[in-house]
């Protein structure tokens, strides 16, 4: 009996040791390029695995430096109840009941003119958890295991001075996708040093990533999959319109190696005097526009691929540089440290954008490296690929 007990104890200790060893192996992979260079997240904090949605919520929001590991799905759907109230059928929903997207009346969107002419008031019922993201404090690394780390029904919000955050290898999905204003996957507003890497976003009601009006400062968005395939489309074509919104105050944003597919607009919408470097991304099957460059934004797009994108650049009310030339090469080299790389187009419209005066704003900053345009992001971006 003593021998059997000793064997059982040894076996349990071996299992515990294996688990501890596996958890010790959890770590952020790689380092951020571009503007968020130097982001450390939880730093050397031991990685911990939350056992419940409640524990995850607490660890994300506290003031302790943490490495938080998602090794399973954390489902927040239904956790805060549902709401039935007046919303609207916006002018954009020309296929009600057949794949259109209605709207929640957040920020009086349905009644302040943004929903368009001929808007109809309707009752909407939505999951309350989806409309407000989980609060994330400073000095956090949030990492997924393989393709197991899923946040369902709730996104993340980094705001009000929180900074130094890494979000890597998780899938955020099902935020009231049937409704405009149904929820944002990742919200940044009043932060600094955020690295968003190798994640997947799907079935989101509104923005997959949104940088609000407050300063988000230095941000790198890299190797993510923005999956716009949906059954509720603002453009009635199975593609998500509200994808990436970069209109913060004087933000520095690097977008590198992302795979952005089956969207129909705002991929990204830029503005707010942001400085944006979009490099080596792959846009695919966009039925509307990729870039919509608003007043104040300064955008360099190089080494990207636009495949089956109807309108790569909808309008340019700011500053936009979308293609090198003999005259521009010297300006690129002087301010970015490399000669700018040509974008590639297949069955797509043209990009345009020849402004170069703003390139001097990049000088002395952490600028991401660039390689020749390639469709590689389609196979390297997203969860389970690091």
Cite the active site residues. Answer: 266
Task: Please calculate the CA angle 216-222-228 and round it to the nearest 5 degrees.
Answer: 95
For residue 114, count CB atoms less than 10 angstroms from its CB and return exposed for 0-12, middle for 13-18, buried for 19 or more: middle
Contact 248, 276 (CB under 8 A): no
- Find out whether 199 and 383 touch, Cβ atoms under 8 Å: yes
Cβ atoms 339, 329 nearer than 8 A: yes
C-alpha–C-alpha distance, residues 11 and 15, integer Å:
6
Which alpha helices (H) appear in 200-355, and where do they start and end? 326-336
Distance CA 229, CA 17 (A): 42
Cα separation, 161 vs 85, in Å, equals: 33
Written as six digits, the tokens of 351 are 């990009």
Quote the tokens at residue 125. 């019922």
Q: For strands 82-89 and 120-127, give the pairing.
A: antiparallel
Cα–Cα distances (Å) from 343 to 120, 183, 241, 340, in that order, read: 42, 32, 23, 10
Q: Between β-strands 134-135 and 275-279, what pairing exists: parallel, antiparallel or unpaired?
A: unpaired
Looking only at the bridges linking them, the beta strands covering 102-104 and 82-89 are antiparallel
Query: Tokens 């957040």 label which residue?
Result: 106
Buried b (16+ CB within 10 A) or exposed e, 69-87: bbeeebebeeeeeeeeeeb
């Amino acid at each position: 009996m003593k021998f059997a007990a000793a064997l059982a104890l040894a076996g349990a200790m071996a299992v515990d040791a294996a688990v501890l060893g596996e958890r010790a192996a959890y770590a952020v992979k790689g380092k951020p390029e571009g503007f968020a260079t130097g982001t450390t997240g939880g730093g050397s904090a031991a990685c911990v695995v939350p056992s419940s949605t409640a524990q995850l919520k607490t660890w994300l929001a506290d003031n302790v430096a943490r490495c938080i590991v998602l090794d399973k799905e954390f489902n927040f759907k239904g956790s805060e109840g549902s709401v039935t109230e007046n919303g609207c059928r916006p002018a954009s929903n020309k296929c009600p009941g057949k794949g259109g997207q209605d709207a929640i009346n957040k920020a009086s969107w349905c009644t302040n003119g943004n929903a368009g002419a001929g808007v109809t008031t309707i009752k909407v019922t939505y999951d309350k958890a989806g409309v407000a993201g989980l609060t994330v404090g400073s000095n956090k690394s949030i990492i997924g295991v393989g393709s197991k780390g899923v946040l369902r029904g709730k996104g993340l919000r980094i705001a009000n001075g929180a900074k130094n955050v890494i979000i890597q290898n998780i899938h955020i999905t099902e935020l009231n996708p049937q409704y405009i204003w149904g929820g944002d996957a990742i919200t940044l507003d009043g932060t600094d040093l955020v690295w968003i890497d190798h994640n997947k976003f799907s079935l989101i009601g509104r923005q997959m990533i949104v940088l609000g009006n407050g300063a988000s400062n230095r941000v790198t968005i890299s190797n993510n999959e923005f999956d716009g395939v949906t059954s509720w489309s603002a453009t009635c074509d199975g593609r998500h319109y509200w994808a990436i919104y970069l209109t913060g105050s004087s933000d520095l944003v690097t977008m590198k190696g992302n795979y952005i597919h089956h969207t129909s607009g705002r991929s990204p919408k830029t503005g707010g005097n942001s400085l944006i470097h979009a490099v080596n991304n792959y846009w695919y099957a966009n039925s509307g526009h990729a870039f919509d460059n608003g007043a104040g934004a300064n955008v360099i797009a190089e080494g990207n691929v636009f495949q089956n994108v109807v309108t790569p650049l909808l309008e340019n009310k700011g500053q936009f540089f979308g293609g090198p030339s003999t005259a521009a090469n010297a300006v690129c080299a002087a301010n970015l440290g490399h000669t700018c790389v040509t974008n590639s187009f297949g069955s797509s419209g043209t990009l345009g954008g020849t402004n170069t005066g703003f390139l001097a704003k990049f000088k002395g900053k952490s600028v991401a490296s660039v390689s020749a345009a390639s469709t590689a992001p389609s196979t390297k971006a997203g969860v389970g690929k690091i």
